[in-house]
A and B are shown apart, each in its own frame.
Chain A
Amino acid sequence: MLLGVGFWIATAIKVFAIVFGLVNFGAIMLWVERRQSAMIQDRMGPNRASVTLFGHEFRVAGLLHSAADGIKMLWKEDFMPPNADKFLYRIAPIVSLVPPLTLMVVVPFGPTLFWANRGSVFGDADGSIYHTHREGFARVWDAAATSIPLHISFADSGILMIFALGSAGVLGAALAGSSSDNKFSLMGGLRAASQMLSYEVTMGLTLIGTFMVYQSVRLEEMVTWQMSHVWGIFVQPFAFLLFLTAAIAETKRVPFDAPEGESEIVAGYFTEYQPMKMGMFALGELVEVFTSSAVIVTVFLGGWQFPFVQQTGFHFDYAGITLHWYWSHLAVVLVGAVTFFVKMILFALLQMQIRWTLPRFRYDQIMRLGWRVLLPASLVNIFVTGIVLLFLNSSAH
């Protein structure tokens, strides 16, 4: 093994935490979808599923409805259309669910946890913990002995892996549409494939502006840049709007949910899918809401950084007010992780709110928006960013 045991254990824990967290968030998003939608629509939403413990009924505000849905899905009859393509029909939900889970490998959900000098993790950080420290039992090449970065993959491709895996999600929808023996599914699959591909282009091009500003494609370096300068949304506001629109279109949420139809083409590309496979599609979609929020938060909103918090604590030095509040390293890491999740959740809630604000776009409007409005706009964004950077760099010399 090139890397030590500690590294693999840390990675396994991180993978478990991310997958477990995401799938649970998917189930919680189902609850949020039902209750938040209800609150917006002046009704209550489901709040009756309860579990009786020790003679006392716990309703948990309807969270158990997600569990009830899951259990119901497991017990239902799993029927496959007779003429459906057996292999493709079965793998389509898997191809749709796995990419959103895997694309979180490159997203950092907190600052690096340094613990070479273990005593000072809890105490005041005087800078000594950031120096690597040869210890007696920890091997020098076991990276986890000195620091644990809170992202799973160290790949140099960074955000390009997100694009690659996002494109794999297109395949799931297309397979589902074409392998069910149903014309409505086929139309839904067609719409899904073409819509997702169109908005993938925009997503990539908008982020090129951010690559030019951050000088990197690795997400952890983007967060570091945002920590030392300003958040991405202030340097690339236009790209933020474009990327948000493209991300919502990519995940096929309303107002871009023409592939799902729901009133036009029955249920779109998952018409013919029975319980648990349908559950996998739905879970995949909800998990995608979270992962797209995570990417937006990391690239544009400073990732895991709470405003004005640096490696050593809370520092505010503007407008004449000076406040330096030194925190221990563990506190910084915990605040970072919690901030990341809170921001991710807020963006997921925002996407849920947009769902009930906007009516669905017509399919030709979606395609026109993707190719004739967002794509030129993202190209313009690249040009303008390049020109501004050129001016700034030339004036700096």
Chain B
Amino acid sequence: MGTIVIQKPRRTVADQTYVVEVAKGLGVTFKHFFRNWGQMLSGGRPDVTSENYDDGVATLEYPEEKRAYPERFRGVHRLTHREDGSPRCVACLMCSTACPAQCIYIKPAEYPEGHARRGYERYPVEFVIDELRCIFCGYCVEACPCDAIRMDTGVHMTALDNRADFVFDKDKLMSIPGQDGTHLTANPRHEPGDKTHPGIDRIKQHH
């Protein structure tokens, strides 16, 4: 009914002496050894991203060979530019508010008198991110209404020698390009006074 009789595997003489098994085992190890050695000498290794599935040496020689990051990988931050080179950031402080690690410090300032954007937008005179405190969650990118901060640099934060080097100020953040190499984004930026500006203009002032 419920019992299955399993035959105990008998050990042959060859098994007991172990010599045949040792020889077979040595065959396996020698096969791996010579294949890997030949592969290393000839420099022929399969694609490093799929090396786990193929036979052969599975080690990546970092930093000469790197595994590609996914497309949406969150690397170090960058501040995106407008066409004239100024940051898209309007110092609304939404990213620093959203940050769970409280690693963003922004000091907002008003544009000087006579500037086209005065009264519509502010600008950050200081924009500091402490990349060591950052947990790379991406909330700042989600919170930003202006597509001003992005984490699409494709560069992870490497280890440095001292804590001070991890604090990125505005100039450093603005100098990091995105993965496509540019500092701009695909989102259009409407300047105040522009006919296509969706917000209020100087005619409809609010009191």
A211 within 8 A of B: no
Is B22 in contact with A42, judged by CB distance below 8 angstroms? no
Task: Please tell me if the beta carbons of A36 and B19 are within 8 angstroms of each other in the complex.
Answer: no
User: Are B22's CB and A43's CB within 8 A?
Assistant: no
* Residue pair A353, B29 in contact (C-beta under 8 Å): yes
Residue contact B25 to A43, C-beta cutoff 8 Å: no
Query: How far apart sit A40 and B22, CA to CA, in the bound complex (Å)?
Result: 15
Assuming the contacts A42-B56, A42-B57, A241-B19, asked whether A357 and B28 have C-beta atoms less than 8 A apart, the reply is yes
Q: Is B30 an interface residue (CB 8 A)?
A: yes
Please measure, in the bound complex, the distance between the C-alpha atom of A19 and the C-alpha atom of B19, giving whole angstroms: 35
Interface residues of B in 79-94 (CB under 8 A from A): none
> CA–CA, A39 to B40, complex, Å?
9
User: Which B residue sits closest to A47, measured CB to CB?
Assistant: B61
Known: A241-B19, A357-B22. A40 touches B33 (CB 8 A): yes
Given A354-B22, A354-B26, A357-B28, the answer on whether A39 and B33 have CB atoms closer than 8 Å is yes
Q: Is the interface of B mostly helix, strand, loop or mixed?
A: helix
A36-B33, A241-B19, A353-B33 as given contacts; A43 in contact with B26, CB under 8 Å: no
A396 near B: Cβ within 8 Å? no
Q: Are B32 and A353 in contact (CB under 8 A)?
A: no
Cβ-neighbour of A357 out of B19, B26, B40, B55 (below 8 A): B26
Residue B37 CB within 8 A of the other chain: yes
Q: Kindly report which residue of chain A lies nearest to residue B24, judged by CB atoms.
A: A357
The winner among A39, A241, A353, A358 for most chain B CB atoms within 10 A is A39
Q: Does A7 contact B (CB under 8 A)?
A: no
A42 near B29: Cβ-Cβ < 8 Å: no
Complex Cα gap A357–B28 (Å): 8
**Is the C-beta of A356 less than 8 angstroms from some C-beta in chain B?**
yes
Which one of A36, A40, A42 has the highest number of Cβ atoms from chain B below 10 Å of its Cβ?
Answer: A42
The listed residue (B22, B33, B61) touching A358 by CB distance below 8 A is B22
Residues of B within 8 A of A353 (CB): 26, 29-30, 33
**Interface mask (A199-211 → B, CB under 8 Å = 1, otherwise 0):** 0000000000000
Contact indicator B29/A44 (Cβ below 8 Å): no
Q: A200 to B207, alpha carbons, bound, how many Å?
A: 103
Q: Quick one: which of B19, B22, B33 has the most chain A CB within 10 A?
A: B33
Q: A354: which B residues are within 8 A, CB to CB?
A: 22, 26
Contact indicator per residue, chain B 22-45, by CB within 8 Å of chain A (1) or not (0): 100110111011001100100000
CB distance from A359 to the nearest CB of B (A): 10
Known contacts A353-B29, A353-B30, A357-B29: does B22 contact A39 (CB below 8 Å)? no
**Assuming A241-B19, A357-B22, A358-B22, is B61 touching A40 (CB within 8 A)?**
no
CA distance A358 to B30 in the complex (A): 13
In Å, the complex CA distance between A357 and B61 comes to 26
Q: How far is the CB of A250 from chain B (nearest CB, A)?
A: 18
Which of B19, B25, B55 has the largest count of A CB atoms less than 10 A from its CB?
A: B25
Establish whether residues A42 and B36, one from each chain, have CB atoms under 8 Å apart when the complex forms: yes
Instruction: Let me know if B3 is at the binding interface, CB within 8 A.
Output: no
- Tell me if B58 is interfacial: C-beta within 8 Å of chain A: yes
- Kindly state whether residue B162 has any CB partner on chain A within 8 Å: no
Chain B residues, Cβ within 8 Å of A356: 29
Known: A44-B61, A353-B30. A39 touches B36 (CB 8 A): yes
11 A–B pairs (Cβ distance < 8 Å), ordered by A: A39-B33, A40-B29, A42-B57, A42-B58, A43-B57, A43-B58, A44-B61, A354-B26, A357-B25, A357-B26, A357-B28
Contacts from B to A (Cβ < 8 Å):
19, 22, 25-26, 28-30, 32-33, 36-37, 40, 55-59, 61
Interface of A with B (CB < 8 Å)?
36, 39-44, 241, 353-354, 356-358
